[in-house]
Amino acid sequence: MCSTTLPRHRLEVGSLEPSLKIYNSFIASCARTAHWLRASQTLRKLHQRGTPPRLHPVTYSTAISACERAAEWKEAFQLLSQVEIRGMKVSVVLLSAALGVATPWRCAVGAVATLKDTRTDVVLYSCALRAVAASGRWQAALALLQDLEGCQSADEIVYNSVLSACDKSGQWQMSLALFSALGKRQLQRDLMGFGSVLSAMSKRAMWRHALVLFEEALAQSLRRNVILYSALIHAYENSSRWEAALQCLAELAFFSIQTDVICYSAVISACEKAAQWQLALRLLSKMESSGMRGNVVSSTAAISACAGAMQWQHAVFHFSLMTRCTAEGNMITYSSALTACEARKQWPHVVALLQEAPSRETDVIQTLLACGQKRMPPRPLCSQ
């Protein structure tokens, strides 16, 4: 509940103008504290009054911003529709306030098309591009970019949003072409841009291109950081270059750069693909001893590495440790543990683990249990 309370006596007595100021103050307070529902309800109460005060668009903008911050895009657009019903002009400020990352991309594109006379407003387009980029709709993002390019209004923020959309949709060629266009337009190629392009290349296992771009970022005097290294490590991981991935991890430590679970998980996964199960376990242990808690990705990669080397004891141990201390496994985790035990005919261990493991994959567990129980040798009958 919002801690701010309305002074009832001042709302019921006196002119409407002081009352409106109090309402505006209350709504602004709710927006600052992310109480979007209270802000929205307050506006509805004003509409329900017999003689509602003449609300200013700023009042709506404040309430809409509160909804956007809480990712309540539906409520934000409902308030936006009230602006039109009340005969007020829908401005760039109002539309920008309604557009957030959680906004469906079609709504974002439609919002831009609403203002025909201000189609090239950079603020509005930047807000719309955030929503479009979050959905990975690179074609819609590119169309918005072309509108801004036509009047020389596109800046680094706009380009980075489009690069993010290309990254999410796997359009590495387009991503690289747009990144090159930044230099031609004399715009700064920053960390966010390099990170998006590197990420797009890493997903396609284009480690050579990623390495060139990584070195280009360093030559541009960008500081070494975990974002650049993480993208490069993923490129090595997807290319099965575990030694290069391990070297990146060593460089992070050498340059005293704080690494994260994502980097460790990628290197562990690279070791798993190269059948380096002992190294994968050492990295998992080192990560946890550094105070980082393993996740499903890192634990599953280590278990899979053990399964590939038929090290069922290690696989069962880390499977049990993961389900008890870190997080629930997924289908790959269960399958890897089963594979390791099946190779050594250790089905009773896996059945026991699956029965204890908490998971949402109920159907998967039941299937694997049935499979395991069928392959288990019959138990000897007790002598009478």
Contacts (Cβ under 8 Å, ≥6 apart) of 96: 123, 124, 127
- Tens of pLDDT, residue by residue over 248-270, are 999 999 999 999 999 999 999 99
- Tens of pLDDT, residue by residue over 217-240, are 999 989 999 999 999 999 999 999
Measured distance CA(266)–CA(243) in Å, rounded: 12
Q: How far is Cα of residue 191 from the mean position of the Cα atoms in its chain? A: 17
pTM above 0.95, yes or no: no
pLDDT at 202: 94
Average pLDDT over residues 350-357: 61
Q: Which two tokens stand for residue 189?
A: 């190629």
pLDDT at 371: 55
Percent of the chain with pLDDT over 90: 33
Measured distance CA(182)–CA(313) in Å, rounded: 53
What is the DSSP-derived secondary structure letter of residue 380? P
